[in-house]
Amino acid sequence: MSEVKEQGVIAGAENDSENLLVVRNLKKYFPIKSSFFKMTVGNVKAVDGVSFSIKRGTTMGLVGESGCGKSTTGRTILRLQEKTEGEVIFDGQDIFKLSKEELRKLRPRIQIIFQDPYSSLSPRLPIGEIIGEAVREHNIVPKEEIDDYITRVMEACGLQEWHKNRYPHEFSGGQRQRICIARALALNPEFILCDEPVSALDVSIQAQIINLLRDLQKQFGLTYLFISHDLSVVEHISDTVGVMYLGNMVEYSETEKIYSKPLHPYTMALFSAIPVPDPDYKMNRIVLQGSIPSPANPPSGCKFHTRCEKCMEICKTVSPEMREVEPGHFCACHLYDPDLDKTATSADTAKTEEKPADKTPDKEIAIEKETAGKESAKEKPADDPSKKDNGKSKGKKK
């Protein structure tokens, strides 16, 4: 998708001071090296021209099948890896034009929370140290206030002061995610990238963490980019939603609009798999044929054409423009090109299946299967009175 084609989503975004983040035509390619002489023989086009903006104090959800480029988009925005092309404007500054020192100063303002909190917490440090480490490094508060400050941050995240002396392995998955949130929050950030932050947790714990993130957003005016394959979770937390397919954004809108009236055939298929809690509701589930093509060798024209039930001849050769189909609702699909003759449809690449809602299999089937190691439902909340032992117990909280 060319730069011009995605401009619509962010037209004038840089001049709008309400936007904290503007991403313009972002590309991230990973070179494929040959075994001989390590020559570059191709590229994995993980992110292939993505544009969007996020207003201060709001949440944008990013959804799509596994491997469509969500995490790469997030990591490149944070400059955890270098871009191939494009711009990332954070509060008026292009992140990729910053010197090392400028980037170091900016780091506390942009934080990240991962899917697996355990691997991102040092097993040898107690929680107080884990949260305090970067607070000291970035001089967030005067030295003599650090201890009180960490206590306040922990309490805001549903943890207690006596947790400071405990180690990560003593906590359950939900509490470990609270620790990661506290560590991020302690740096007084404006923006937090949440990359599948609840995907490894049990559903009841997911709700607690999502509610915590929402409360903190209200309290501290935080801005989130929330990456998830779970459409129900994304609907719950997001103000706007972008749908990615094979490195491109194919649809973008306010959450309410996109969930009530998805426009892109891919979005329709994804959303048709969300279970409805009504046994009388007949679901028209669109089953996508085949798997997602390789980003190293994406299909020509519309990248979705190999799986699209509405594929037309033009789709096979011409990449669709991102256009504003209705106010604030953008979609990259030839079906919404007003100048196009759409009579010649082809390709029976997808089928529609009718299923009663209560027999719908796992809602993630049509989306992806990447939720590794679900946490047990046995988790106790951090303020469980039975744990108030003033730090003497070393028992695992699972």
Ligand X SMILES: Nc1ncnc2c1ncn2[C@@H]1O[C@H](COP(=O)(O)OP(=O)(O)O)[C@@H](O)[C@H]1O
The number of C-alpha atoms within 13 Å of 337 and in the hemisphere containing its C-beta is 17
In the chain, the N- to C-terminal Cα span, in Å, equals: 47
Tokens 């044929």, residue located = 289
Name, in order, each residue with C-beta under 8 angstroms of 102's C-beta and a sequence gap of 6 or more: 93
Q: Summarize the chain as % helix, strand, coil (round to 5).
A: 30, 25, 45
27 vs 310 by CB, closer to ligand X: 27
Does the protein bind ligand X through residue 213 (CB under 6 A)? no
40 vs 284 by CB, closer to ligand SF4: 284
What residue 69 binds from ligand X, ligand SF4, Mg ion, none (CB within 5 to 8 A, per partner kind)?
Answer: ligand X
Shortest approach of ligand SF4 to residue 301 CB, angstroms?
7
Does the protein bind Mg ion through residue 59 (CB under 5 A)? no
Name, in order, each residue with C-beta under 8 angstroms of 231's C-beta and a sequence gap of 6 or more: 63, 270, 271, 273, 274, 363, 367
Q: CA–CA separation, 294 vs 247, rounded Å?
A: 10
User: Out of 333, 350, 366, 367, which residue is the one contacting ligand SF4 (CB under 6 A)?
Assistant: 333
Does the protein bind ligand SF4 through residue 5 (CB under 6 A)? no
Shortest approach of ligand X to residue 171 CB, angstroms?
26
Name, in order, each residue with C-beta under 8 angstroms of 36's C-beta and a sequence gap of 6 or more: none
Does the protein bind Mg ion through residue 71 (CB under 5 A)? yes
User: Out of 7, 66, 188, 393, which residue is the one contacting ligand X (CB under 6 A)?
Assistant: 66
Backbone φ/ψ region at 221: left (φ over 0), alpha (ψ -120 to 50), beta:
left
Name, in order, each residue with C-beta under 8 angstroms of 339's C-beta and a sequence gap of 6 or more: none
Residue pair 191/168 in contact (Cβ under 8 Å)? The answer is: no
Shortest approach of ligand SF4 to residue 288 CB, angstroms?
11
Tokens 């998805």, residue located = 262
Shortest approach of Mg ion to residue 257 CB, angstroms?
25
Does the protein bind ligand X through residue 71 (CB under 6 A)? yes
User: Contacts with ligand X in 279-318 (CB under 6 A)?
Assistant: 295
Tokens 């990259």, residue located = 332
User: Out of 3, 8, 14, 30, which residue is the one contacting ligand X (CB under 6 A)?
Assistant: 30
Does the protein bind Mg ion through residue 253 (CB under 5 A)? no
User: Out of 20, 23, 44, 270, which residue is the one contacting ligand X (CB under 6 A)?
Assistant: 44
Does the protein bind ligand SF4 through residue 302 (CB under 6 A)? yes
What residue 20 binds from ligand X, Mg ion, ligand SF4, none (CB within 5 to 8 A, per partner kind)?
Answer: none
Shortest approach of ligand X to residue 85 CB, angstroms?
16
Q: Phi and psi dihedrals of 17, rounded to 5?
A: -70, -10
User: Contacts with ligand SF4 in 307-326 (CB under 6 A)?
Assistant: 308, 310-312, 315, 320
Q: CA–CA separation, 206 vs 168, rounded Å?
A: 19
Does the protein bind ligand SF4 through residue 171 (CB under 6 A)? no
Name, in order, each residue with C-beta under 8 angstroms of 347's C-beta and a sequence gap of 6 or more: 305, 308, 309, 311
Does the protein bind ligand SF4 through residue 305 (CB under 6 A)? yes
Does the protein bind ligand X through residue 46 (CB under 6 A)? yes
164 vs 310 by CB, closer to ligand SF4: 310
Does the protein bind ligand SF4 through residue 64 (CB under 6 A)? no
**What is the number of residues in the chain?**
398
DSSP 34-84: PTTTT-EEEEEEEEEEEEEEEETT-EEEEE-STTSSHHHHHHHHTTSS--S
95 vs 312 by CB, closer to ligand SF4: 312
Range in contact with ligand X (rule: CB under 6 A) among 63-71, 265-273, 329-337, 357-365: 63-71
Cα-only R_g, the chain: 22
72 vs 84 by CB, closer to ligand X: 72
Q: Which residues bind Mg ion (CB under 5 A)?
A: 71
Q: Which residues bind ligand SF4 (CB under 6 A)?
A: 264-265, 302, 304-305, 308, 310-312, 315, 320, 333-335
Q: Which residues bind ligand X (CB under 6 A)?
A: 30, 44, 46, 64, 66-72, 295
